[in-house]
Amino acid sequence: MTQNTEDSEAERNRRHAEERKAVKAERDVMMQSKTQTGGLLLIHTGAGKGKSTAGFGMAARALGWGQRVGIVQYIKGKWITGERRFFARFPDQVRMEIMGEGFTWDTQDRARDVAAAQAAWEKSLEMIADPELDFVLLDELNVALRYDYLDLDKIVAALKNRPRDKHICITGRDAKPELMELAELVTEMRMVKHPFQQGIKAQRGVDF
Amino acid sequence: MTQNTEDSEAERNRRHAEERKAVKAERDVMMQSKTQTGGLLLIHTGAGKGKSTAGFGMAARALGWGQRVGIVQYIKGKWITGERRFFARFPDQVRMEIMGEGFTWDTQDRARDVAAAQAAWEKSLEMIADPELDFVLLDELNVALRYDYLDLDKIVAALKNRPRDKHICITGRDAKPELMELAELVTEMRMVKHPFQQGIKAQRGVDF
């Protein structure tokens, strides 16, 4: 494998121009057939693996088309994850917000958790409204809703009134029926077989 | 959003060294507790969306850890996809093989399809054996098996004897029971609601 084949500045500019042109062409088509295309609301739910991972795959795909991506992670989880390290490489294409440290899911301090979830939702609203972004991933928002850290009615209302030129993907188990009703695409990731069942530990690259 | 914040050469080298160090530390841990970790065989199957996309998300996550990734796409599909454009940006970390043009799934020329599938499998075997690669994605291999373009027994035997320091992810609907039996992790992507049902066209970033 070659050691360093990063693109030259000129090549990068050329590619950037080409990609923006492709995005514009795509948008023109979208505008011509409004009833057929437009921003989709997608939900990845279920107890199986791959919900967030498919969201990150969508982000990678969007970046490939020169699109711009916003990501809000509603779960504390591991502080350093492969996806955070990876998407941090593209500051000109990706805006990423990690929810406050206080959010732990164990409700030892519910008021702090609610405040953290609320702050993350404010960031989400900004991204949904931002015309610069083509795709917004609200990672594990379903879990914040499941714990009633956010007001479902408000979230449903905001998503109903979202700008229609943007795709939004919401992940997390136990998606609320009201959100699934609103979504154009719902996939349930169903666990058929899981390595934890076999005593295998979580691993870099696979699990985080 | 900033216009161009690509890293300097020195920063890139520093990051690279740091990532390789992290990968080495991870491997050392893996070697210390063989029964607990080690390369996993993962399968994403089912009729829902997100099978390949989660595979690409895993690839992005692995890249975030400085790991090296091999991808074989067993389906012709769209010639230019977001994921191909995206992963082509990382020639020092990603090796990507797209199966021969002949492979169309419509069996107008079965002999040619079988030959193309066979060539893709040979590439897959090379990647599985390559100690440089940490993660190998065999995208839509299940479909080639479903059409009996490849000999299942041979594939099962090769996967059984795979090097144990590498993760392999196989995607595609209708995964063979023999493969699921072999895998440590199987997720079924179940379609709950799909935009095609509502007359919405496939779109850049979401579908390809």
| A8 in contact with chain B, both atoms CB, cutoff 8 A | no
Quote the CA–CA distance of A48 and B179 in Å, as a whole number. Answer: 18
Residues of A whose CB is below 8 A from B186: 192-193
Chain A CA closest to residue B167: A206
Chain Cα centroid distance, residue B125: 13
pLDDT at B26 over 60: no
pLDDT digits (tens, 9 = 90+) for B147-172: 898 999 999 999 999 998 899 999 99
Q: Give the number of beta-carbon pairs within 8 Å between A and B.
A: 243
pLDDT digits (tens, 9 = 90+) for A14-63: 665 665 566 555 555 544 444 445 789 999 999 999 999 999 999 999 99
pLDDT at A67 over 90: yes
| B21 in contact with chain A, both atoms CB, cutoff 8 A | no
Of A19, A56, A188, the CB nearest to B60: A56
User: Domain B38-190 is of which CATH architecture?
Assistant: 3-Layer(aba) Sandwich (3.40)
* Smallest Cα distance from A60 to chain B, Å: 7
Chain B CA closest to residue A63: B86
Best A61, A97, A189 member to test B by mutation, with max B CBs in 10 Å, is: A61
Residues of B whose CB is below 8 A from A20: none
Quote the CA–CA distance of A160 and A154 in Å, as a whole number. Answer: 10
CB A161 within 8 A of CB A17: no
Predicted local confidence at residue B83, as pLDDT: 85
Q: Do B61 and A205 lie within an 8 Å CB cutoff?
A: yes
Quote the CA–CA distance of B112 and B110 in Å, as a whole number. Answer: 5
pLDDT digits (tens, 9 = 90+) for A125-143: 999 999 999 999 999 999 8
* Smallest Cα distance from A113 to chain B, Å: 27
Could you confirm whether domain A35-198 is CATH 1.10.3720.10?
Answer: no
The answer, yes or no, to whether ipTM is higher than 0.85 is no
Predicted local confidence at residue A5, as pLDDT: 42
Q: Do B186 and A192 lie within an 8 Å CB cutoff?
A: yes
Q: Which two tokens stand for residue B197?
A: 């049902």
Q: Which two tokens stand for residue A96?
A: 């990423």
* Smallest Cα distance from A132 to chain B, Å: 9
Compute the average pLDDT of residues A81-109. Answer: 77
Q: With both helix axes pointing from N to C terminus, report the angle between B152-160 and B110-129 in degrees, rounded to the nearest 10.
A: 0
Q: Do A92 and B2 lie within an 8 Å CB cutoff?
A: yes
| A196 in contact with chain B, both atoms CB, cutoff 8 A | no
Q: Do A190 and B189 lie within an 8 Å CB cutoff?
A: yes
Check residue A109 and report its DSSP letter. Answer: T
Q: Do A187 and B185 lie within an 8 Å CB cutoff?
A: no
The alpha carbon dihedral of A90, A91, A93, A97 has a sign of positive
Of A65, A180, A189, the CB nearest to B50: A189
**DSSP letter string, B22-66:** HHHHHHHHHHHTTTT-S--EEEEESSSS-HHHHHHHHHHHHHHTT
pLDDT digits (tens, 9 = 90+) for A104-128: 555 567 787 888 889 999 999 999 9
* Smallest Cα distance from A95 to chain B, Å: 8
Predicted local confidence at residue A31, as pLDDT: 47
Quote the CA–CA distance of A140 and A186 in Å, as a whole number. Answer: 15
Best B169, B176, B185 member to test A by mutation, with max A CBs in 10 Å, is: B185
Compute the average pLDDT of residues B160-185. Answer: 94
pLDDT at B45 over 50: yes
Quote the CA–CA distance of B36 and B19 in Å, as a whole number. Answer: 23
* Amino acid residing at A185: L
| B26 in contact with chain A, both atoms CB, cutoff 8 A | yes
Of A124, A69, A164, A14, nearest in space to B1 by CA: A69
Residues of A whose CB is below 8 A from B64: 81-87
Quote the CA–CA distance of A136 and B106 in Å, as a whole number. Answer: 36
Chain B CA closest to residue A24: B204
Strands A185-193 and B185-193: antiparallel
Compute the average pLDDT of residues A162-171. Answer: 93
